[in-house]
A and B are shown apart, each in its own frame.
Chain A
Amino acid sequence: MQVKGFHSTLSTSIPLHARHEYAACNLFVLHELPADIIIDSFELNDHGLSFQFVGNTNLELPMSGVANESGWLLVAVKPEADLIVVDVPLHVRYGVPQEGHDPRHIIQLPPPTCFWACPSSYKSLHSTLPSQSPTFHLLNSSAQLEIFQHTTSSLLSFDIPVGNINHILYIELCTVTVTLLAFVYVVQHCWTISKTLYYDVHLKMQ
């Protein structure tokens, strides 16, 4: 995943060499996403994805305003080719401000879990999803699972800039000062024009 900035796409490539063996099964990709990541369900709908997201759906809060709990995104995929690519647009919340020079926050994305969900007749399949993952209505609770071992890649890690709390006092002072100076400047012009209008009105009335 090439990550720059606060907007990116999480792209998962799934090779399906033996997909004919799972003709009666459904293919899924499960993403565990840290609280830093924003999933816009409406955007995923626009991308034509069939999915279920369990987690914080607020699109606007920064990290300071949400609980530090992972979200889970389950995407149903149609196994129509030997190589499937699943693209999920991601957005990142503003991180908790920190101290120091050019502070940055590191975000780690666990690798996705790709798996077949098969009917109960597939008795040889015994994989299980991560224990902390929630229950999904998209997934049949009695399904037998086969997790793809070879898509378990190294941890994805990227960093984003965060605000610098050493700046706070400076920001407070300068923001208010500039605001007040702009206010005084505009008031001065209002005063000048008011005087002109006042004399004009009185002159014409006389």
Chain B
Amino acid sequence: MQPNTSAAWQDRVPGFVTLLVISVVLRVVLILYSEWHDAHSIVKYTDIDYRVFSDAARFILYPKPQGDIAKGPLAPLFFTVGNPYARETYRYTPLLAILLLPNEWLHPSFGKYLFAACDLINGALIYRILMSHILPHTKSLAPDVSAKDSKRFMRAHASLLAATHLLNPLVFTISTRGSSEAILCTFVLLTLFYALERRQNAAAVVLGLSAHWKIYPIIYGVSCVSAITSQRIDGKGWKFSHLLRRLVGREAICFVLLSAGTFIILGAICYAVWGYPFLYEAYLYHTDRRDHRHNFSPYFYLIYLTYSGTSANLSTWRQLLRSPFTSLIPQLTLSLGTGLVFGQLSAGLPFVWFVQTFTFVLFNRVCTSQYFIWYTLFIPLLVPRINLSWKKWVMCGAVWMGTQALWLAEAYKLEFLGDDVFFGLWVRSLVYVVGHAWVLGVIMRGYIPHVSCNQHSSIPE
């Protein structure tokens, strides 16, 4: 999609600071509205997860009367720290509950303001990455623009693209309703920023923090290491030491050790305080979760129908059909494989991470609307390098949203009207998989990679 290069277009786009101010006002108004709405309506604006986080924070400060305190091996001996996992369905790192402690002593909406602030930081990071690493290398973007106007053009373009995130209803609704996804997005974008800046140590540490927050960012480590090991062997010949250095390079090993070390240290500290409940709820639960209630993934119906049954009496091929590996193998093959291959071929980290995340979400056995933000985050960074007609863009948007709307309409009938639409809902889940796979294919076909000749750089762009 080639932008209009006329000066009038650039002048109509507000500056990034103006955009930030608009975003701040929008979010503050929505948070204030949420307080009024929740006080006057049975159907709440605030996400149920926000209540979960807030309760968990309260339980840390004021343990439940039944004496549910932290029971880790090194739990504080001289003062009591509560157990956030006493709150049912709290399945996150305890650091999130600690971040929301001001909900108790400052204001109940503190967490929402924190998530909204992360939204704004994410917008700023997107703007910065576009200005520093994407737009300067996208020469075909504005061939007719003079060098004098190019900076102004880039600023306008970056503001416009950052606005697609900051003013995206999905984004600001999620954060003002009290979902914590914005925090993870900040960590992911920070990791990407440091990686593109070639500050590998910082990237590794923030990646470790991201993976502690939620496991899935581990997949980005594959592409980072792959990009590091794609350094060109210099003209001194194929010495064994050079080959070894490439395969087990110092930079790659440092990255892995720093990243894994950060993850392990954070996990160890949390385990030391909160013990096995932390390990189970934050990580182990997710390895064997069976989400039987309807969600976008078509596997919900299979899980529901076979919830209490045993597969032992079934034939081998039936057991195979029910096995979690039917989704896990495609999911891991694509989310890790694309990181490995595209990272090696210097496809550009924003694109690689987009494809990795999209495939991870698409083939996951559970999928809710919040998961989409994990990859829509990267779209503003990809747009300058995607060559699609506006009709194709409209079609992608229509299919992406339309398949979700189709599913949501049926889910409403099931959940709130009690209609027998399990089968129809499952069919629409299949339509969701097909539609979103098609959208991914279109975006991949339209992508124009920027391949750098300078393979000595640690993580090429």
Contacts and interface: CB of A to CB of B under 8 A. Distances in A.
B299 interface: yes
B461 to A, nearest CB: 13
Contacts of A42: 51-52, 55, 87-88
A59 B88 contact: yes
A175 B298 contact: yes
Contacts of A174: 298, 430
B278 to A, nearest CB: 19
A5 B304 contact: no
Contacts of A193: 342, 347, 444-445, 447, 449
Interface string A179-203: 1111101110110111011101100
Interface of B is mostly: helix
Interface of B: 42, 51-52, 55, 87-89, 232, 292-293, 298-299, 301-302, 304-308, 318, 321-322, 326-327, 330, 333-334, 337-338, 341-342, 345-347, 355, 359, 362-363, 414-423, 426, 430, 433-434, 437-438, 440-441, 444-445, 447, 449, 451, 453, 455
Given A5-B417, A94-B304, A172-B321, A182 B434 contact: yes
Contact of B449 (A163, A172, A180, A196): A196
Interface string A31-44: 00000000000100
A106 interface: no
Interface of A: 3-7, 9, 42, 46, 57-60, 62, 64-65, 94, 96-97, 102-104, 159-165, 167-169, 171-176, 178-183, 185-187, 189-190, 192-194, 196-198, 200-201, 204-205
A112 B87 CA distance: 29
Contacts of A171: 301-302, 305, 426
Contacts of A180: 326, 330
A97 B305 contact: yes
A7 B88 contact: no
Contacts of A189: 440-441, 444-445
A59 B305 contact: no
24 contacts: A7-B416, A42-B88, A64-B308, A94-B292, A161-B421, A171-B426, A173-B321, A175-B426, A180-B326, A182-B362, A182-B434, A183-B330, A185-B441, A186-B437, A187-B333, A190-B342, A190-B355, A193-B444, A193-B445, A193-B449, A194-B342, A197-B346, A201-B345, A201-B346
A172 B306 CA distance: 10
A175 B434 contact: no
Contacts of A60: 89, 293
Given A174-B298, A205-B453, 9 more contacts: A62-B293, A64-B308, A161-B414, A179-B433, A186-B440, A193-B342, A193-B447, A194-B345, A204-B451
